[in-house]
């Protein structure tokens, strides 16, 4: 099942590159969700995937995007994180606005260095213009950061971390093999 | 249809209420045991870190839920906000049969003699309502013993020279150390300390018809897949039900005590699983709903005889809310330590529990329960990046190479740290919710500074290449170790109940949970809550058999 969801996520990304125009995160505006996604539009998913890859960059192990951060957040925004929908809408729009203004490009199209720098400014609360009033950039960054960590290191049942990839990366057997690994140093 | 009158109602099927229900029903009293949650098991929530009682980002696995429950938190700056059960500031206690005893880490500490005589031992502490308990360790000793044998504890106190004297050993042998504990044991011994295996409410060998522990990494915060963890849900509550005298009513939310025209308390009002309002009358009412929900129930029960709530004539109900100031240190090592032998915490020292120069009380230090991957992603030395390549590299390099040594500092009770009921906010049944306000006493920070320093020294001695301490802030305490809000005492002007848990001014209302704790010890409180359950239950049953009907 997990490999199936990986393939369909790649399809989402393909759709994301084909899709034109910003779609609404908030239900009620007839959002065009690819099959399987619940809340996020193609643009939202593309942007969040790019953020996820800076928070947990790909190397010999998957980055945040490949390891299901977007599908985790999408699913939780239709569940316990419904209360964060407004913050996501505001934060993602503010990021796009800041990038277009500063670089005439969307965040997804910036170099990794520029993306990292912008996220660092958000983390320190350095962004104050546009949609970033009252320390919102810091709060938004911390929210996305912690949700990305939950997706990447949590149970696959919530939409992220297919096949416990992060557990394998960290050398944690799943399922636990009692009597097999406890004396392996 | 009206519910049949019973001898006793017990509100809350947790560590305290489960024990009281068993004591009363085995003595022949008819009992209704109320629980707002339901039976839960490993099948409902298995090893999912994000939805457990330890990491609650996606909710509390064993309740309560965010949809129907809420509280009001008054911040230090005076602003108020709504908090939900999955927020840390809510100070949640599990809502299920067994409550926290289903998913706890199951440390089974007896408090020490000094813990019941804090004011006599250390003298008054400015700004604190520090006081002696009206009962001594010796009064509770046989109750601890009953808890250890009826619910089940594995340990060996002969290795702890600071342990309070006991008449009978633990019923089960102690757990073996995992690898990190073995490393710490050698280091502690080199330092002249006295390490010993943590006593645990968990089967080290088959006991009472249940199997031995499988030592999984997901223990603290999770239900046990093999039923080796000992809580009230798999010991005293089934024992109570098997008498035929006790009826357990799950999914029932008790909203208030029924007070008749003469001022006598005759039962409870509750909402059943269909949200239908019902009444249950009883001769005796035992409130065991936690140190936040017990005062809420008393404060929400008003009449012309109790204008500010039952037991609250002198404004002590809900006061002195305390928990534990958890403090310690992390150490990084340059070799693999993690052997995946659960639950992680296996070894402790009690050398710093009392009589530390300049410190009032103190606490044990133990190695910590296994930190699962998401929780570990938030553990970094000060100044380290919390994301990016370095964060990812740390995650895979040090998950198997870190040790945390941590302990609970005994907090100084603070009169203005309190549970009230909010004047306007209500839960989904329309019952006024808990309103939390206050802060920690400054003395607690001194204790944390002291104990975290000791933890860091131990880690260095064990060979850590890098160490750092962690101490809590000065904000309101509470959490899962919440206590103190219906203090027991001999003087009705400065306490809520007498020495048997009976609420002053009432002949037939008792409290039996950590609300009774005058002080909360430098230990995890579960076994003491159970011991008090035996004390309260034993007293009621004994009086009942003598013919006392608590009129």
Of B57, B341, B373, the CB nearest to A182: B341
Give which of B59, B56, B55 is closest to B68, Cα–Cα: B59
> Residue B96 pairs with which residues in a beta bridge?
B38
Contact A173 B340 (CB under 8 A): yes
Taking an 8 Å Cβ-Cβ cutoff, which residues of chain A contact chain B? Answer: 54-57, 59, 61, 76, 79-80, 116, 119, 123, 145-146, 148-150, 152-155, 157-158, 166-167, 169-173, 176, 178, 181-185
* Closest chain B C-alpha to A3 CA, distance in angstroms: 21
Are A151 and A159 contacting, i.e. CB atoms less than 8 angstroms apart?
yes
What is the per-residue pLDDT across A74-90, written as a single tens digit (0 to 9) for each?
A: 999 999 999 999 999 99
Rg (CA), chain A: 17
Q: What angle do CA B495, B501, B502 make, to 5 degrees?
A: 85
Q: What angle do CA B47, A66, A5 make, to 5 degrees?
A: 70
What is the per-residue pLDDT across B159-215, written as a single tens digit (0 to 9) for each?
A: 999 999 999 999 999 999 999 999 999 999 999 999 999 999 999 999 999 999 999
Are B174 and B154 contacting, i.e. CB atoms less than 8 angstroms apart?
yes
Closest chain A residue to the Cα of B85, Cα to Cα: A80
What average pLDDT does range B133-148 have in this prediction? 98
What average pLDDT does range B80-94 have in this prediction? 96
Closest chain B residue to the Cα of A166, Cα to Cα: B373
Strand, helix or coil for residue B541: helix
Could you tell me if B48 lies within 8 Å of chain A, comparing CB atoms?
A: yes
d(CA B16, CA B511): 9
Its domain, for residue B55, covers 6-545
Whether A21 shows a pLDDT value over 80: the answer reads no
Residues in contact with B138: Cβ distance below 8 Å, sequence separation at least 6, in sequence order:
B113
pLDDT value, residue A28: 45
Whether A58 shows a pLDDT value over 60: the answer reads yes
Contact B388 A185 (CB under 8 A): no
* A11 band by pLDDT with thresholds 50, 70 and 90: very low
pLDDT value, residue B1: 72
pLDDT value, residue A179: 53
Residue B404: its H or E element: strand B402-410
Could you tell me if B355 lies within 8 Å of chain A, comparing CB atoms?
A: no
Cβ burial of B338 (10 Å; 0-12, 13-18, 19+) is buried
The CA distances from residue B444 to B126, B299, B409, in Å, are: 13, 28, 7
d(CA B507, CA B549): 9
**Residue B130 in domain:** yes
The CA distances from residue B104 to A75, A162, B205, B348, B456, in Å, are: 29, 29, 19, 17, 26
What is the per-residue pLDDT across B401-429, written as a single tens digit (0 to 9) for each?
A: 999 999 999 999 999 999 999 999 999 99
* CATH number of the domain to which B362 belongs: 3.50.50.60
Question: What's the domain count of chain B?
Answer: 1
**Residue B551 in domain:** no
Cβ burial of B138 (10 Å; 0-12, 13-18, 19+) is exposed
d(CA B108, CA B154): 9
Identify all chain A residues contacting B58, using CB atoms and an 8 Å cutoff: 76, 79-80, 150, 158
Largest alpha-carbon pair distance within chain A?
Answer: 58
**Residue B92 in domain:** yes
Closest chain A residue to the Cα of B67, Cα to Cα: A80
Identify all chain A residues contacting B57, using CB atoms and an 8 Å cutoff: 80, 146, 150
Q: Residue B547: left if φ>0, alpha if ψ -120 to 50, beta else—which one? A: left
Whether A41 shows a pLDDT value over 60: the answer reads yes
pLDDT value, residue A19: 37
A vs B: CB pairs below 8 A: 96
**Per-residue three-class SS string for B428-488:** CCCCEEEEEECECCHHHHHHHHHHHHHHHHHHHHCCCCEEEEECCCCECCCHHHCECCCCE
Give which of B470, B41, B399 is closest to B217, Cα–Cα: B399
Whether A7 shows a pLDDT value over 80: the answer reads no
pLDDT value, residue A38: 94
Interface of B with A in 510-529 (CB under 8 A): none
Of B49, B51, B373, the CB nearest to A170: B373
Are B487 and B501 contacting, i.e. CB atoms less than 8 angstroms apart?
no
Strand, helix or coil for residue B367: strand
pLDDT value, residue A178: 64
The CA distances from residue B93 to A155, B295, B507, in Å, are: 24, 14, 28
Closest chain A residue to the Cα of B396, Cα to Cα: A170
For chain B, give the percent of residues with pLDDT over 90. Answer: 98
**Residue B153 in domain:** yes
Start-end of H helices in A79-173: 85-103, 112-123, 136-153, 165-170
**Residue B550 in domain:** no
**Residue B1 in domain:** no
pLDDT value, residue B307: 98
* Closest chain B C-alpha to A85 CA, distance in angstroms: 15
Whether A20 shows a pLDDT value over 60: the answer reads no
* A33 band by pLDDT with thresholds 50, 70 and 90: low
**Residue B346 in domain:** yes
Chain centroid to CA B195: 24
Chain centroid to CA B83: 20
DSSP per-residue codes, B19-79: HHHHHHHHTT--EEEE-SSB---TTTS-S-GGGSSSS-TT--TTS--TTT--EEEE-TTS-
Of B47, B58, B388, the CB nearest to A57: B388
Of A54, A59, A183, the CB nearest to B339: A183
* A32 band by pLDDT with thresholds 50, 70 and 90: low
DSSP state of A162: G
pLDDT value, residue A129: 84
Of A56, A146, A181, the CB nearest to B392: A56
* Closest chain B C-alpha to A81 CA, distance in angstroms: 8
What average pLDDT does range B431-455 have in this prediction? 97
User: Who has greater pLDDT, B168 or A30?
Assistant: B168
Whether B273 shows a pLDDT value over 70: the answer reads yes
d(CA B341, CA A178): 8
pLDDT value, residue B31: 98
pLDDT value, residue A23: 43
Q: Which two tokens stand for residue B466?
A: 């890098």
Residue B121: its H or E element: helix B118-122
Q: What are the backbone angles phi and psi of residue B121, rounded to the nearest 5°?
A: -75, -40
**Residue B316 in domain:** yes
What is the per-residue pLDDT across A98-114, written as a single tens digit (0 to 9) for each?
A: 999 999 999 999 999 99
Whether A35 shows a pLDDT value over 50: the answer reads yes
Contact B179 A185 (CB under 8 A): yes
Contact A153 B395 (CB under 8 A): yes
pLDDT value, residue B76: 87
Are A73 and A48 contacting, i.e. CB atoms less than 8 angstroms apart?
yes
* Closest chain B C-alpha to A169 CA, distance in angstroms: 6
Contact A154 B215 (CB under 8 A): no
Of B66, B336, B373, the CB nearest to A172: B373
The CA distances from residue B110 to A33, B155, B163, B195, B199, in Å, are: 57, 12, 8, 16, 9
């Amino acid at each position: 099942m997990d490999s199936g969801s990986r393939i369909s996520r790649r399809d989402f990304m393909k759709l994301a590159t084909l899709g034109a125009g910003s779609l609404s995160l908030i239900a009620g505006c007839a959002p065009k969700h690819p099959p399987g996604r619940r809340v996020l539009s193609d643009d939202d998913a593309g942007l969040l995937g790019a953020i996820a890859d800076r928070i947990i960059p790909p190397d010999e192990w998957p980055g945040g995007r490949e390891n299901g951060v977007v599908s985790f957040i999408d699913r939780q925004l239709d569940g316990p994180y419904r209360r964060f929908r407004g913050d996501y809408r505001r934060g993602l729009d503010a990021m796009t606005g800041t990038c277009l203004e500063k670089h005439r490009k969307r965040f997804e199209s910036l170099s990794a260095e520029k993306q990292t720098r912008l996220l660092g400014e958000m983390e320190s609360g350095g962004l104050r213009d546009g949609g970033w009033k009252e320390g919102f950039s810091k709060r938004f960054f911390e929210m996305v950061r912690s949700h990305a960590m939950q997706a990447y290191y949590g149970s696959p049942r919530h939409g992220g971390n297919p096949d416990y990839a992060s557990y394998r990366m960290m050398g944690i057997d799943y399922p636990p093999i009692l009597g097999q690994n406890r004396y392996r140093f | 249809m009206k519910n049949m009158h019973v001898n006793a109602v017990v509100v809350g099927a947790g560590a305290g209420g489960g024990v009281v229900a068993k004591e009363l029903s085995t003595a022949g009293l008819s009992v209704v045991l109320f629980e707002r949650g339901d039976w839960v098991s490993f099948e409902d929530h298995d090893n999912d870190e994000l939805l457990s009682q330890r990491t609650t980002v996606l909710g509390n696995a064993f309740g309560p839920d965010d949809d129907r429950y809420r509280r009001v938190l008054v911040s230090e700056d005076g602003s108020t906000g709504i908090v939900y059960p999955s927020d840390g500031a809510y100070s949640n206690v599990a809502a299920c049969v067994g409550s926290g005893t289903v998913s706890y880490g199951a440390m089974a500490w007896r408090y020490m003699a000094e813990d019941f005589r804090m004011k006599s031992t250390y003298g008054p502490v400015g700004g604190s309502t520090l006081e002696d308990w009206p009962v001594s360790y010796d009064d509770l000793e046989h109750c601890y013993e009953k808890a250890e044998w009826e619910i089940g504890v594995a340990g060996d106190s002969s290795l702890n020279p600071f342990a309070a004297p006991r008449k009978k050993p633990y019923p089960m042998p102690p757990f073996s150390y995992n690898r990190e504990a073995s490393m710490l044991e050698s280091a502690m011994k080199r330092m002249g300390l006295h390490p010993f295996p943590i006593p645990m409410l968990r089967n080290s060998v088959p006991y009472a018809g249940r199997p031995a522990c499988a030592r999984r990494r997901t223990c603290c915060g999770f239900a046990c897949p093999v039923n080796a963890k000992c809580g009230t849900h798999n010991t005293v509550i089934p024992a109570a039900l098997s008498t035929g005298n006790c009826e357990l009513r799950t999914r029932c939310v008790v909203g208030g005590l029924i007070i008749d025209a003469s001022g006598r308390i005759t039962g409870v009002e509750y909402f059943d699983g269909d949200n239908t309002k019902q009444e249950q009358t009883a001769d005796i009412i035992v409130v065991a709903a936690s140190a936040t929900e017990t005062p809420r129930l008393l404060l929400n029960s008003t009449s012309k005889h109790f204008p500010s709530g039952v037991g609250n004539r002198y404004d002590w109900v809900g006061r002195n809310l305390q928990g534990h100031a958890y403090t310690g240190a992390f150490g990084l090592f340059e070799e693999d330590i993690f052997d995946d032998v659960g639950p992680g915490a296996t070894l402790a020292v009690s050398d710093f529990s009392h009589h530390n120069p300049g410190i009032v009380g103190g606490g044990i230090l133990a190695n910590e329960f296994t930190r699962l991957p998401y929780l570990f992603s938030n553990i970094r030395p000060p100044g380290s990046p919390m994301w990016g390549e370095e964060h990812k590299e740390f995650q895979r390099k040090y998950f198997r190479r870190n040790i945390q040594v941590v302990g609970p500092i005994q907090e100084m009770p603070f009169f203005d740290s309190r549970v009230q009921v909010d004047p306007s906010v209500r839960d989904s049944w329309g019952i006024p919710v808990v309103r939390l306000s206050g802060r920690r006493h400054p003395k607690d920070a001194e204790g944390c500074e002291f104990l975290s320093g000791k933890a860091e020294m131990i880690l260095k001695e064990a060979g850590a290449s890098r160490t750092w301490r962690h101490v809590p802030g000065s904000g309101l305490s509470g959490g899962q170790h919440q206590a103190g809000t219906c203090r027991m005492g001999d003087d009705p002007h400065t306490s809520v109940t007498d020495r048997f848990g009976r609420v002053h001014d009432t002949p037939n209302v008792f409290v039996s949970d950590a609300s009774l704790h005058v002080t909360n010890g430098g230990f995890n409180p579960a076994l003491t809550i159970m011991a008090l359950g035996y004390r309260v239950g034993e007293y009621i049953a004994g009086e009942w058999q003598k013919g006392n009907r608590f009129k």
